Structure 1
């Protein structure tokens, strides 16, 4: 797999996806006149679809030629944009949105699994760049969505359709090759390639669960924090939007700096990035109860972004090193499903905590949950360092 074309495909995929979901809550509430409770359920179904799609795609990556799988996923996403253009009322919109959730997760897992097929670059560099380019595509699209939405939501779906059409051309020209990790018949496959060694499995599952917990915390920024800033602190909406501009710019600077300085070159540095990234999430939530102004939230977002940019890409990179060829797709699918799992339950858990207690209790609880995760992940990774088998 040529890294250049993998990154281009990832950019187009996330750019197209960025025209679908950012305004979903506003569209459902303001245009389709649904309650926030209903909006929450729709977003939950979308997140569950992403999780399921990631798991299925990763599992099938190891059993069939991936080119057919990713072409199917992108083709369904293109057809779903046609469906959105024709039917974007209630209840068609949430049904189609759930389907796009399923196949967006499918495509993300497939692209990450293709990342394991790039052999002329270090795996940590590959996954750093994949994470950077995916965020760049999403941020670029999100910056355009607000302007284009004023002309009608159909234009968003039309642009997304064009991008998926371009992606299909890229796939046909640069992804149509035989991947050598396709499983043969069971009686011919070596048993060692079908299951992970004990400590490899412990490390992989611990970081996957850890990634889900981080996304439970991170999803508070994407939902409950906007309500807190606007309703409780009476800060203007543009200040909340500006936080995500800061997030996108910082991710670009951090990722490119890390790659330029080869900071993930050693195994020790990779572990430190995971530990430090998790710690940043916990630290940001410890800081939030005392924040009342935009600049305070900007500092907290900066701390969170350092955690995001260091820990998130290193987890699939670590999983890549600990899984044999015949299992790489399955476990990359698991890693791609972890964020969706966090996004599915995070807003619900945060909302329950806020309703029963208050925002401050939610902040402290999130910090405590991340702190426990850090201790567990550190213990398992440090203990298993001398037992795991590298691939």
Structure 2
């Protein structure tokens, strides 16, 4: 039995996606700077704190994705939001060492949980084409991230507790919106739409290979991408002595460009078929690697802005197409599971990235870090290209 074709209202799903991303980005971007400069921990310790946070994000996403297919999503979403509010309230009063990393990790688990549920909810929106839905979810989440990161440096100047208060207020608003507008029930899906594959054990082999190739590519790319969100803030402020507001401004540029690029993509309808979606993914991965080749030459804000623009174009072209492609080759009763896996992949990259990045910085410096990130991006590109050429035509479509 399929879910009711009325589906979920997209505008309210986009609203909670924006608030979730906006609120959590009061915690994540300056965690490295706060732990290193205010709590007096070295960069290796910073890396391990971010590693634990991201691992718990991954676990939260995987668990929520699996539960989405079995239980009512509204209960899962409300419970996760209430728990997030509880831990943020604790952070307002306890944010010294070691309370800060412990509570930050708890919020990381819940952020992964909520993000996976939001992406899984996207498979239940029937008022728009799936490609439009996931493009908009990606755009609005990144817009929230850029908006939050742009404000975080300013608010941080008044005291770190104000970041936690701001996040707390946002998640209270999100709970109100979700409680009122995301309360519809979905009938349990008993079997897949494709009669040939009724059970998860009969999932077509090449569907699984393509899905996990994309998952591994996301892990690799986010291992590199997280250097922008963590180690680069320390590099710009401590090594190059650039003001922190310039780092925040990079994320404002990121948010504006995501909006511009998404508008162009939607107007041109460049993701109209699967071949162009695959081409977008491959081209975006190439741009990702190119941006890291620019970073070693960045000594001024202008060059960092150019590298950010290239990165933004790459992620805007590639990242939204991955859940779309997976959605189209995943049966209805497994959509939550694999959207959860996709949501977990960036978290695993964010877990590996700070530890590996911190170690590379300590051993060889930032030049080697940037070169390694570029190589990783091009390796991910090669892996996806090879698997798509060999196996995509063999996948079953749902």
TM-score by length of 2: 0.90
Partner of 1:222: 229
Cα offset, 1:368, TM superposition: 2.0
1:16 aligns with 2:23: yes
Cα offset, 1:386, TM superposition: 1.6
Partner of 1:107: 114
1:148 aligns with 2:155: yes
1:346 is aligned, of 323, 334, 353, to: 353
Tell me, in whole angstroms, the C-alpha distance in 2 between the residues paired with 1:4 and 1:374: 34
1:64 is aligned, of 67, 71, 81, to: 71
The aligned length equals: 387
Alignment deviations for residues 118-152 of structure 1 (CA, whole Å, 9 cap, x no partner)? 11211111111001111111222223333333333
Partner of 1:372: 379
Alignment deviations for residues 140-167 of structure 1 (CA, whole Å, 9 cap, x no partner)? 2223333333333333323322222222
Partner of 1:209: 216
1:269 is aligned, of 271, 276, 280, to: 276
Tell me, in whole angstroms, the C-alpha distance in 2 between the residues paired with 1:10 and 1:194: 32
2:183 is aligned, of 171, 176, 189, to: 176
On the 8 A contact 1:81/1:160 being kept in 2, the answer is yes
Structure 1 alignment gaps of length 5 or more: none
1:245 is aligned, of 252, 256, 278, to: 252
On the 8 A contact 2:63/2:113 being kept in 1, the answer is yes
Alignment deviations for residues 182-229 of structure 1 (CA, whole Å, 9 cap, x no partner)? 458xxxx97435542111001000001001111111112223333444
Partner of 1:50: 57
Tell me, in whole angstroms, the C-alpha distance in 2 between the residues paired with 1:325 and 1:266: 20
Distance 1:290 1:148, change over 3 A: closer
Tell me, in whole angstroms, the C-alpha distance in 2 between the residues paired with 1:37 and 1:367: 22
Tell me, in whole angstroms, the C-alpha distance in 2 between the residues paired with 1:229 and 1:31: 17
Q: Quote the RMSD (CA, aligned, Å).
A: 2.2
Distance 1:164 1:91, change over 3 A: same
Distance 1:30 1:354, change over 3 A: closer
1:131 is aligned, of 127, 131, 138, to: 138
Tell me, in whole angstroms, the C-alpha distance in 2 between the residues paired with 1:146 and 1:282: 28
On the 8 A contact 2:153/2:248 being kept in 1, the answer is no
Structure 2 alignment gaps of length 5 or more: 1-7
Cα offset, 1:105, TM superposition: 0.3
On the 8 A contact 1:194/1:326 being kept in 2, the answer is no
Alignment deviations for residues 164-187 of structure 1 (CA, whole Å, 9 cap, x no partner)? 222222222222222235458xxx
Cα offset, 1:366, TM superposition: 2.2
Tell me, in whole angstroms, the C-alpha distance in 2 between the residues paired with 1:228 and 1:142: 17
1:357 is aligned, of 350, 355, 364, to: 364
Higher mean alpha-carbon deviation, 3-12 vs 160-169, is at 160-169
Tell me, in whole angstroms, the C-alpha distance in 2 between the residues paired with 1:164 and 1:238: 25
Cα offset, 1:80, TM superposition: 1.0
Tell me, in whole angstroms, the C-alpha distance in 1 between the residues paired with 2:272 and 2:20: 28
